[in-house]
């Protein structure tokens, strides 16, 4: 007979986050965003809607953007997880982040780490996007305070910086 864990019981779960092996003691059903924030202190991903709608919790899993509020940490085990914290090197903004700063894009910042994960992935696949393509790429990332026009201007400036 297989031993069953009581519902909600914590167990050691091995994760690879931003290239580092990490062990967390968690209920496997805990949303990945909560483990990233509360156990690993990677607070870039934000739990805002918790319904897969706003995109504030976006991280990369095996090279694809996922809503980490919808991914149980037990499912994330053994996969390559990259968070917004991995986007800048040595504490310096990445060139895309620099373009955002130059265009004064961020207000409260709740949406922004998720935006940056989505845009970084998008620009890898679409290095010279049109305004319409950028809008389409951001359909799953909601910004409630700054809006999108300056953000799109920043992405275009980054993409056509040479």
Q: Which of 44, 55, 113, 129 binds ligand FES (CB under 6 A)?
A: 55
Contact (CB, 8 A) for 118 and 55: yes
Report if residue 59 touches ligand FES, rule: CB under 6 A.
Answer: no
Tracing tokens 């310096």 back to the chain, one arrives at: 92
Report if residue 72 touches ligand FES, rule: CB under 6 A.
Answer: no
Contact (CB, 8 A) for 76 and 12: no
Q: Which of residues 77-136 bind ligand FES (CB under 6 A)?
A: 106-112
Report if residue 47 touches ligand FES, rule: CB under 6 A.
Answer: yes
Nearer to ligand FES, 17 or 54 (CB): 54
Report if residue 144 touches ligand FES, rule: CB under 6 A.
Answer: yes
Side-by-side strand order, sheet with 20-26 = 20-26, 11-17, 80-82, 58-61, 64-67
Backbone angles phi, psi at 56, to 5 degrees: -65, -20
Interface ranges with ligand FES (CB under 6 A): 47-50, 52-57, 67, 69, 106-112, 143-146
């Amino acid at each position: 007979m297989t031993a069953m864990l009581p519902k909600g019981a914590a167990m050691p779960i091995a994760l690879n986050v931003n290239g580092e092996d990490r062990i967390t003691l968690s209920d496997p059903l805990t949303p990945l965003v909560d483990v990233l924030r509360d156990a690993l202190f990677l607070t870039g991903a934000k739990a805002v809607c918790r319904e897969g709608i706003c995109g504030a919790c976006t991280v990369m899993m095996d090279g694809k953007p996922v809503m980490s509020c919808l991914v149980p940490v037990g499912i994330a085990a053994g996969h390559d997880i990259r968070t917004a914290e991995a986007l800048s090197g040595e504490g310096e903004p990445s060139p895309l982040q620099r373009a955002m700063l130059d265009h004064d894009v961020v207000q409260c910042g709740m949406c922004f780490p998720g935006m940056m994960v989505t845009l970084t992935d998008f620009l890898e696949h679409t290095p010279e996007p049109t305004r319409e393509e950028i809008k389409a790429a951001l359909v799953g990332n909601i910004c409630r305070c700054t809006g999108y026009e300056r953000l799109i201007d920043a992405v275009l400036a980054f993409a056509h910086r040479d």
